[in-house]
């Protein structure tokens, strides 16, 4: 498959845009390749600027639950744009969006709209700090919560050691206020709480992680995490920017039956427009300005275009949608697993609903970041490139999840599985 125009466009982009892209993973650097420039999406089909067509398994990193060019979404956006793209003043659409989120997400009584997932998580920890009057936060290695300074940290050699920035520009002081525990390891959480008693404002977690590949929490781990946070007056934040409305109508918290104090959302609530949100218990949310002492604001927050786009998607969510996503995704999982066995490839699939990752590993399961780091990333890169040439667009990193939309039909699924068969034979 030739991608000459994409190559030229990337060469030009690198002259004017830092690294040639507006978000690093798009550069295909993590699969040692060059990015594809797209010009059109239709259902699950993507067309690049060289007129190659791909079956899409990324859904713009999650937002496009129903695939590209969803008619309801486009009509909503068009209808809204005629009136205004923004007022910077309240609209009824914001009330409708807030009510919809509260109806769907079990733990949310009150909500605030923002413009990205990063903004949601940054605001959520400020709120938690203000509410608890404590400074430290805890997160889990391998989880991603956007690019806020507090989240760009990694642990030192041991869990109890000080944390270090993992980006230049993040100060040591900020990094030291973020603790990193091990995913699915409650003892690591307890140890950190013991070492920093009465100092931790919040624990933030992806209850179903998509940022070290797809890794689920164990239910008992999540239940114990809830209990330990309550015992220590620590707010529990579920970052459901990816899992919200994707794995179930009410996100991971609906599946697990474990309720956080604050939830962060993004992606699907904007239907592909830039949106984020955070919400939780009324008592906590009332701490926000203008009524409360924690400041957070946004010129474009809750803007009508994004609200109408998101509402057009949220209003369509019902059990049938999730049944369909499950049917398509389980068929893909089944088909690939069959080839893994047949070709004796060292690989496993981890999946929750329409989010899944094919890990190239000898391990039977990936439970945390340590496990994920042992994967054969070069194998994934090879696999990715062959699949791309066969017209299958996968996430350009071993440590990202596939997001399947309802737009794939039987034929698409078969093409995907056939391409996989071909790719596995090549990389054996
Ligand atoms: N939280 C999670 C769990 C995410 O996956 C992401 C982005 N993929 C973010 C937060 C940040 O969202 P955004 O890219 O919209 O800032």
pLDDT for 67: 98
Question: Residue 62: CB within 6 Å of ligand 1?
Answer: no
50 among known catalytic residues: no
pLDDT for 119: 98
Question: Residue 207: CB within 6 Å of ligand 1?
Answer: no
267 among known catalytic residues: yes
pLDDT for 155: 64
Report the residue among 62, 144, 208 best suited for mutation to probe ligand 1: largest number of ligand atoms under 8 A from its CB: 144
Report field, pTM of the whole predicted structure over 0.85: yes
Cis peptide bond prior to 290, omega within 30° of 0: yes
Q: Which residue's C-alpha comes closest to atom 5 of ligand 1?
A: 242
| Cα 118 to averaged position of ligand 1 atoms, centre (Å) | 6
Question: Residue 272: CB within 6 Å of ligand 1?
Answer: no
Of the residues 45, 54, 144, 256, which is catalytic? Answer: 144
| Cα 411 to averaged position of ligand 1 atoms, centre (Å) | 32
Report the residue among 121, 122, 300 best suited for mutation to probe ligand 1: largest number of ligand atoms under 8 A from its CB: 121
Low-confidence ranges of the chain (pLDDT < 50): 159-161
Dist. CA 201–CA 204, nearest whole Å: 10
């Amino acid at each position: 498959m030739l991608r000459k125009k994409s190559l030229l466009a990337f060469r030009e982009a690198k002259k004017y845009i830092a690294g040639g892209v507006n978000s690093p993973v798009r550069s295909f650097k993590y699969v040692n390749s060059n990015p594809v420039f797209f010009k059109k999406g239709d259902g699950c089909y993507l067309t690049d600027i060289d007129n190659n067509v791909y079956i899409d398994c990324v859904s713009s990193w999650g937002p496009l639950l129903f695939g590209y060019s969803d008619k309801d979404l486009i009509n909503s956006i068009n209808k809204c744009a005629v009136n205004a793209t923004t007022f910077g003043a309240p609209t009824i659409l914001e009330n409708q969006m807030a009510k919809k989120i509260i109806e769907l997400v079990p733990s949310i009584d009150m909500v605030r709209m923002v413009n990205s997932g990063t903004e949601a998580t940054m605001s959520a920890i400020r709120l938690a700090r203000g509410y608890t009057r404590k400074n430290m936060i805890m997160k889990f290695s391998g989880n991603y919560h956007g690019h806020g300074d507090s989240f760009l940290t990694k642990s030192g050699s041991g869990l109890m050691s000080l944390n270090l920035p993992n980006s230049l520009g993040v100060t040591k002081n900020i990094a030291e206020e973020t603790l990193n525990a091990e995913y699915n390891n409650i003892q690591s959480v307890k140890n950190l709480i013991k070492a920093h008693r009465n100092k931790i404002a919040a624990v933030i977690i992806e209850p179903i992680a998509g940022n070290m590949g797809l890794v689920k929490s164990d239910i008992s781990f999540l239940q114990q995490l809830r209990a330990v946070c309550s015992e220590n007056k620590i707010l529990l934040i579920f970052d459901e920017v990816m899992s919200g409305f994707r794995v179930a109508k009410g996100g991971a918290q609906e599946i697990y039956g474990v309720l956080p104090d604050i939830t962060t959302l993004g992606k699907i609530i904007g239907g592909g427009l830039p949106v984020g949100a955070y919400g939780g218990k009324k008592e906590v949310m009332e701490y926000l300005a203008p009524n409360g002492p924690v400041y957070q604001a946004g010129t474009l927050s809750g803007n009508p275009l994004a609200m109408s786009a998101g509402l057009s998607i949220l209003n369509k969510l019902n059990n049938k949608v999730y049944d369909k996503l499950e049917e398509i995704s389980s068929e893909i999982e089944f088909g690939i697993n069959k080839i893994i066995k047949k070709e004796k490839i060292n690989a496993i699939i981890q999946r929750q609903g329409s989010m899944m990752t094919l890990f190239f590993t000898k391990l039977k399961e990936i439970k945390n970041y340590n496990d994920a780091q042992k994967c054969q990333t070069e194998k994934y890169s090879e696999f990715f490139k062959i699949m791309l040439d066969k017209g299958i667009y996968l996430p350009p990193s071993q440590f990202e999840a596939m997001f399947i939309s309802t737009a794939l039909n039987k034929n698409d699924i078969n093409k995907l599985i056939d391409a996989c068969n071909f790719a596995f034979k090549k990389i054996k």
